[in-house]
């Protein structure tokens, strides 16, 4: 099954996904990490993507969909794939729905936290695309382009919500509980 981790930059999706994947043998796919790896290796894709990333803009949908298509289409039913940072636009969500095996997308977890918390966390982690100007732009892009996906998944009845302005362990418990119950439901259907 595929569980989508949704939420603003800085909310802690990556940290949570990594911890849950390590503890439970789940797979964690972070498109941001994949892109940073391409940038670091100086590939053509990385060079192209970095133009957008350094501004805090989204990398074009075609590039992103090509990047994850192979992986999501081959997702075995009984294995958990935590998708972190994808989809971020409605066209990406639609592409994901068409490429994933039928019924595979069983859960979307929406991580929420107040803007002040996000900005503080983003500025504190000191990544290259985490300057104040870029951070504010990334949040604006998130509100406009990615947040509508909350409604998209809520309408499908697969949205779970997590208050991410709490301790890491408490948030982790919520996430793991949601993934387990989605897995269980899937195995019953
Ligand atoms: P992240 O590590 O998830 O914050 O992603 C870092 C940057 O990579 C983002 O600010 C975007 O520029 C780019 N990126 C990652 N995932 C996507 C995506 N699904 N669609 C478009 N751009 C993305």
Structure confidence by residue, pLDDT tens digits, 37-52: 999 999 999 999 999 9
Q: For residue 37, give both structure tokens.
A: 């790896």
What pLDDT was estimated at residue 187? 83
Q: Does the pTM exceed 0.85?
A: yes
Rounded to whole angstroms, what are the CA distances from 94 to 3, 87, 88, 98, 187? 15, 9, 11, 6, 24
Q: Ligand 1: which atom is nearest the Cα of residue 30?
A: 3
72 near 100, Cβ under 8 Å? Answer: yes
76 vs 74: CA distance, rounded Å: 6
Mean pLDDT within 45-67: 97
Question: What percentage of the chain reaches a pLDDT higher than 70?
Answer: 100
Atom 2 (ligand 1) nearest CA: 32
Does the pLDDT value for residue 148 go beyond 90? Answer: yes
Instruction: State the average pLDDT for the chain.
Output: 96
Does the pLDDT value for residue 125 go beyond 90? Answer: no
What pLDDT was estimated at residue 49? 98
Residues with CB under 6 A from ligand 1: 9, 31-32, 35, 52-53, 56, 58-59, 64, 85-88, 92, 129, 138
Rounded to whole angstroms, what are the CA distances from 187 to 1, 77, 84, 93? 10, 9, 23, 24
Q: Ligand 1: which atom is nearest the Cα of residue 92?
A: 19
């Amino acid at each position: 099954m595929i569980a989508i981790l949704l939420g603003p930059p800085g909310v802690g999706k990556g940290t949570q996904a990594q911890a849950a994947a390590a503890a439970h043998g789940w797979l964690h796919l972070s498109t941001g990490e994949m892109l940073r790896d391409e940038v670091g290796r100086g590939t053509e894709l990385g060079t192209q993507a970095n133009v957008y990333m350094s501004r805090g803009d989204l990398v074009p949908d075609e590039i992103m969909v090509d990047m994850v298509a192979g992986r999501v289409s081959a997702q075995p039913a009984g294995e958990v794939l935590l998708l972190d940072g994808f989809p971020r636009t409605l066209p990406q969500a639609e592409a994901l729905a068409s490429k994933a095996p039928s019924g595979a997308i069983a859960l979307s977890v929406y991580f929420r936290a107040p803007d002040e918390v996000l900005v503080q966390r983003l500025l504190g982690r000191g990544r290259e695309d985490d300057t104040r100007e870029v951070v504010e732009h990334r949040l604006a892009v998130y509100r406009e382009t990615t947040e509508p996906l909350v409604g998209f998944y809520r309408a499908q009845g697969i949205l779970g919500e997590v208050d991410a302005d709490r301790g890491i362990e408490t948030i982790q418990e919520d996430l793991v509980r949601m993934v387990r119950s989605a897995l269980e439901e899937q195995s019953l259907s």
